């Protein structure tokens, strides 16, 4: 149901910074199966859970790169990645550039 999915999105937005955050976290919190979370994402969001999680993290990373002087390593940790390499790969996938190049280009 759309209202329940909205609650899931709010929960994800509140917790995406946790590096161990996963669809299983959402499923457990809402008392549903992981496949139910996946189904709801496919139905209401037209993207998968992981795609949504990465897009949130990258959007916040972009904001921090534009508005702060934090290092890429610090930003990686602040947005929920366990290391800089993982964030750099995801950042490049979603933006077409590396975090360092993005910051220099603004």
Per residue in 59-101, pLDDT (tens digit) is 999 999 999 999 999 999 999 999 999 999 999 999 999 999 9
Say what the pLDDT of residue 106 is. 67
Closest CA to 5 of 60, 47, 58: 47
Residues of the chain above pLDDT 90, percent: 92
Q: Give the separation between CA 20 and CA 5, rounded to whole angstroms.
A: 21
Instruction: Indicate if the pLDDT at residue 1 is higher than 90.
Output: no
Residue with tokens 């990686």: 76
**For residues 62-89, b (16+ Cβ closer than 10 Å) or e, as one string?**
bebbeeeeeebeebbbbbbbeebeebbe
DSSP annotation of 97: S
Say what the pLDDT of residue 2 is. 84
Average pLDDT value for residue range 22-42: 95
| pTM to 2 decimal places | 0.92
């Amino acid at each position: 149901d759309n209202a329940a999915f909205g609650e899931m999105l709010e929960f994800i937005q509140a917790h995406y910074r946790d590096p161990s955050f996963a669809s299983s976290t959402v499923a457990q919190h809402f008392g549903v199966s992981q496949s139910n979370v996946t189904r709801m994402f496919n139905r209401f969001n037209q993207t998968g859970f992981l795609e949504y999680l990465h897009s949130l993290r990258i959007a916040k990373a972009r904001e921090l790169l534009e508005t702060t002087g934090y290092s890429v390593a610090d930003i990686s940790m602040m947005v929920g990645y366990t290391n800089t390499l993982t964030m750099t790969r995801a950042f490049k996938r979603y933006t077409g550039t590396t975090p360092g190049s993005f910051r220099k280009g603004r």
